[in-house]
Amino acid sequence: MTSRRAVTAGLGIAYVAASAIAPLILKTTRSDLDLYFWPSAETLVSGHSLLIYAGHVHGLYQNDNGPLGLVPLLPAVAVANVLGWAGSLAGRAALTGAVTSLVVLLLAYQTVRLVSSARGSLQWPVIVACTVLLAPALWIGVLDYGHVEQPVELCFALLAITLFLSTRNASTGVALGAAVLARTIAGFCVIPLLLIRLMTHRFRSAAMIALAGVITVGVVMAPFVLADEQAVTHSLLTYRPGLPIGGGSFWVLFRQASWAGLIRTGDVYIGAAVAIVLAALALRHDPAVASTCAGLAGLLTIAACCFPLFAKSVYPYYLVEPYVFSILWWLARPGSALNWRVTAPLLLTVDVFIVKAASTSPFSAGGATEGVLSSAVIAVAIAMVTIDLLRWPERSTQAADSRMDRLPERIPSTQDAT
């Protein structure tokens, strides 16, 4: 046991070191980290904590996430200012990578705990952890695009799964609210959790989750709104409809259509509506699908996939959330992990590179082809998970039959014992 812990600690240190060294070698251009997140964190560190959205009001893109996602940047910014690295792309990216890697390690630990709890035991926890630690979507998202808020968001999302399965409704709402405060698109995670309670007629539990989440978001965001209402509203609510249709999605084929304005303003709402329909379909077929970690992760995978499928512009880091949830859907069930369900996270990993290629040439013929191909891959992953959840009663029946086969033909009664 001591040897195993030493090896685990050594691997963790190596991961932190690699996360710090990689930017020193590969970081050459500015990313969202440099354009939006680092300036916002500098504003926090300098003492103007409620004005983090003020610097981007007149830009095309904004820091459109809550303040909680900036937490990993605060120590990195403080150290960079002391060392004089704040103006160095590679230097501040290295500090950011080192700090963010600690959050990613926590995310991997949560994944291992959930899989181990669902399976009863876990023989190779390091391999399960590596499915998260070495995920191309995560590395590209943090290293290439600088989205340090995603590991924070996912840590709260996995915490919400744990609390939800323990029927701790208020705590689940707080965790979901914290996830939304880290990355606004975490709102897609709320959809299946609320639907589960509503479709099982547990309206009080659903109301408690929703109320706790709204209060959490409201309490944290209220000071920011009071201090700079225009910038906060523009960054978090109103700026997105003004963005053009970009690459990585099948919508690029219709960017010149007369009704393209509907896509620019309603892409997120279309994705949310489809997520609601698919989750409701699975739950109507068998509400017990949400009683296990694997089933719940499957519903979250479907909901998370609906965002990159219908978003008007898609980037590789959009696949991080679907990938992590699909890992849980695949691994959090008894039996061998060598089964067809591994195809879903593999497809999403392949799609990361398809989207990366599409984002480099969104308006060329090749970019349009890659955008359509990317959407098709995500649609296949959604179909696989949905069909699996719709077969849930069949697997439950098979498991029950297997247990019945091991029972004695006649259970002894009290009179027999006498």
Are residues 252 and 224 both part of a single domain? no
pLDDT at 18 over 80: yes
Q: Is residue 4 part of a domain?
A: no
Q: Is residue 9 part of a domain?
A: no
Predicted confidence at residue 59, as pLDDT, reads 61
pLDDT at 402 over 70: no
Predicted confidence at residue 394, as pLDDT, reads 47
Domain containing 256 equals: 242-395
Are residues 192 and 313 both part of a single domain? no
Are residues 83 and 154 both part of a single domain? yes
Angle separating helix axes 149-165 and 320-331, nearest 10 degrees: 40
Are residues 319 and 175 both part of a single domain? no
Tens of pLDDT, residues 233-261: 988 888 888 788 888 889 988 988 889 88
pLDDT at 364 over 70: no
Are residues 253 and 223 both part of a single domain? no
Residue 317's pLDDT band, with cuts at 50, 70 and 90, is very high
Are residues 219 and 99 both part of a single domain? yes
User: Which tokens sit at 169?
Assistant: 């409704």
pLDDT at 396 over 90: no
Chain-centre distance of CA 197, in angstroms?
A: 21
Predicted confidence at residue 47, as pLDDT, reads 87
Counting residues of the chain whose pLDDT is more than 70, the rounded percentage is 91
Q: Which of 295, 308, 301 is nearest to 196 (CA)?
A: 295
Tens of pLDDT, residues 341-358: 999 999 999 999 999 988
Are residues 342 and 212 both part of a single domain? no
Residue with tokens 């630690």: 133
Domain boundary among 194, 228, 262: 228
Report residue 311: phi and psi, to 5°. -65, 145
Find the length of the chain: 418
Q: Is residue 69 part of a domain?
A: yes
What is the CB neighbour count within 10 angstroms for residue 362? 21
Q: Which of 57-71, 179-193, 243-257, 361-375 has the lowest mean pLDDT?
A: 361-375
Predicted confidence at residue 108, as pLDDT, reads 97
pLDDT at 100 over 90: yes
Counting residues of the chain whose pLDDT is more than 90, the rounded percentage is 71
What is this structure's pTM?
0.91
> Rounded mean pLDDT of 65-93?
94
> Rounded mean pLDDT of 46-74?
84
Are residues 331 and 210 both part of a single domain? no
Chain-centre distance of CA 400, in angstroms?
A: 33
pLDDT at 65 over 90: yes
Q: Which of 24, 141, 171 is nearest to 92 (CA)?
A: 24
pLDDT at 414 over 70: no
Residue 298's pLDDT band, with cuts at 50, 70 and 90, is very high
CA distances from 24 to 91, 98, 100, 151 (A): 7, 11, 15, 21
Q: Which of 140-149, 286-295, 355-364, 402-411 has the lowest mean pLDDT?
A: 402-411
Q: Which of 64, 43, 61, 65 is nearest to 52 (CA)?
A: 43
Rounded CA gap, 349 and 367, in Å?
A: 18
The answer to whether 279 and 191 have CB atoms below 8 angstroms apart is yes
Q: Which of 22-31, 200-209, 248-257, 366-375 has the lowest mean pLDDT?
A: 366-375
Are residues 219 and 88 both part of a single domain? yes
Are residues 96 and 125 both part of a single domain? yes
Q: Is residue 19 part of a domain?
A: yes
Are residues 292 and 182 both part of a single domain? no
**Following CA atoms 147, 152, 153, 159 in sequence, which dihedral angle do they give, to the nearest 10 degrees?**
160
Q: Which of 249, 247, 242, 221 is nearest to 233 (CA)?
A: 221
Rounded CA gap, 125 and 107, in Å?
A: 13
Domain boundary among 166, 194, 228: 228
Chain-centre distance of CA 176, in angstroms?
A: 12
Rounded CA gap, 283 and 350, in Å?
A: 29
Q: Is residue 130 part of a domain?
A: yes
pLDDT at 203 over 90: yes
Residue with tokens 């409620």: 50
Would you call 49 exposed, middle or buried from its count of C-beta atoms within 10 A (0-12, 13-18, 19+)?
middle
Predicted confidence at residue 404, as pLDDT, reads 31
- The residue among 369 and 414 whose pLDDT is bigger is 369
pLDDT at 409 over 50: no
Q: Is residue 417 part of a domain?
A: no
Residue with tokens 């498991």: 399
Residue with tokens 């098979």: 398
The answer to whether 104 and 151 have CB atoms below 8 angstroms apart is yes
Predicted confidence at residue 238, as pLDDT, reads 84
Residue with tokens 């480099």: 360
Domain boundary among 228, 261, 289: 228
Predicted confidence at residue 368, as pLDDT, reads 84
Q: Is residue 407 part of a domain?
A: no
**Mean pLDDT for the chain overall:** 89
Q: Is residue 66 part of a domain?
A: yes
> Rounded mean pLDDT of 220-230?
94
Q: Which of 139-143, 175-179, 231-235, 398-402 has the lowest mean pLDDT?
A: 398-402
Predicted confidence at residue 366, as pLDDT, reads 53
Are residues 220 and 342 both part of a single domain? no
Chain-centre distance of CA 148, in angstroms?
A: 12
Q: How many domains does the chain have?
A: 2
Q: Which of 123-127, 225-229, 339-343, 402-406 has the lowest mean pLDDT?
A: 402-406
Residue 369's pLDDT band, with cuts at 50, 70 and 90, is confident
